[in-house]
C-alpha cells in the first residue's frame, strides 16, 4: 500500500477544466521527425481525501484526435489504430501517488482500445490560485511515454530504407487546470 502523499490541494473534488487544459502527443514519423496532435474532448477529476492524498480519473474521446490533417485523423480513428467506433473512450484511473524530488509520480491503469496496462505519469504541480471569482484553481503538467503496441496499435508500415512510418513510442503531455468544486 502506498503511503499518503499530500499535494497541497484542499480536500474535495477538483474538475479538470477542458477550456484551460490540453492533452497532446507526439510520435516519430518516417524515422526523422515527429507528428504532433491533441485530443480535443476529455474530462476528469482529482479527488483529494481527508489525509491529502489525491486520486485521479480521466476520460478521453479518441475520436476527438486532431493532427491538423483530416485524412490522417480519419486513418487514426479507424480499426488500424484506435478503432474509435468500437473503443470510443480511453480512460485513466490512478492507483497510487509517490513523490520523486520536486515531482509526483501518479501510478494508474490506462485503458486504450480495450487494453488496460499500468502506467506512471510524471507530474509537476504548479500550485493553487484563488481563481477569478469562481473558486480555487490548481495547475499541473504531466508526461508519460507509452508504447503504442502495448495497446494493440501494432500496424507497421515498413520503409524501404529501414524503420517504420510511425514510431512505437508515443509521448503524451498534459497541461491541466482543475477547478475546485463546491
Band of pLDDT at residue 2, cut at 50, 70 and 90: very low
5 has pLDDT over 70: no
* pLDDT averaged over every residue in the chain: 89
pLDDT of residue 1: 39
Asked if 117 and 153 touch (Cβ cutoff 8 Å), the reply is no
- Which of 29-38, 70-79, 151-160 holds the top average pLDDT? 70-79
Please report which confidence band the pLDDT of residue 164 belongs to, taking 50, 70 and 90 as the band edges: low
- The pLDDT of residue 158: 59
Q: Is 18 exposed, middle or buried (0-12, 13-18, 19+ CB in 10 A)?
A: middle
* Domain map (residue ranges) of the chain: 12-180
pLDDT (0 to 100) of residue 159:
56
Query: pTM score, two decimals?
Result: 0.90
CATH (residue range 12-180): 2.40.128.110
Question: Which pLDDT tens digit goes with each residue over 82-104?
Answer: 999 999 999 999 999 999 888 99
DSSP 18-49: GGG-EEEEEEEETTTEEEEEEE--EEEEEEE-
Residue 58 scores a pLDDT above 70: yes
CA distance 108 to 119: 6
Amino acid at each position: 500500500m502506498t503511503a499518503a502523499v499530500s499535494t497541497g490541494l484542499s480536500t474535495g473534488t477538483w474538475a479538470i477544466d477542458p477550456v484551460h487544459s490540453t492533452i497532446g502527443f507526439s510520435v516519430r514519423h518516417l524515422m526523422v521527425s515527429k507528428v504532433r496532435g491533441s485530443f480535443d474532448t476529455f474530462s476528469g477529476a482529482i479527488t483529494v481525501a481527508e489525509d491529502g492524498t489525491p486520486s485521479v480519473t480521466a476520460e478521453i474521446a479518441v475520436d476527438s484526435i486532431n493532427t491538423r490533417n483530416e485524412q490522417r485523423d480519419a486513418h487514426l480513428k479507424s480499426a488500424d489504430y484506435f478503432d474509435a467506433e468500437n473503443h470510443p473512450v480511453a480512460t485513466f484511473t490512478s492507483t497510487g501517488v509517490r513523490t520523486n524530488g520536486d515531482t509526483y509520480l501518479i501510478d494508474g491503469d490506462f485503458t486504450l482500445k480495450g487494453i488496460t496496462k499500468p502506467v506512471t505519469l510524471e507530474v509537476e504541480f504548479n500550485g493553487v490560485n484563488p481563481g477569478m471569482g469562481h473558486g480555487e484553481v490548481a495547475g499541473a503538467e504531466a508526461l508519460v511515454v507509452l508504447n503504442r503496441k502495448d495497446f494493440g496499435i501494432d500496424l507497421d508500415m515498413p520503409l524501404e530504407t529501414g524503420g517504420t512510418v510511425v514510431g512505437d513510442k508515443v509521448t503524451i503531455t498534459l497541461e491541466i487546470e482543475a477547478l475546485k468544486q463546491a
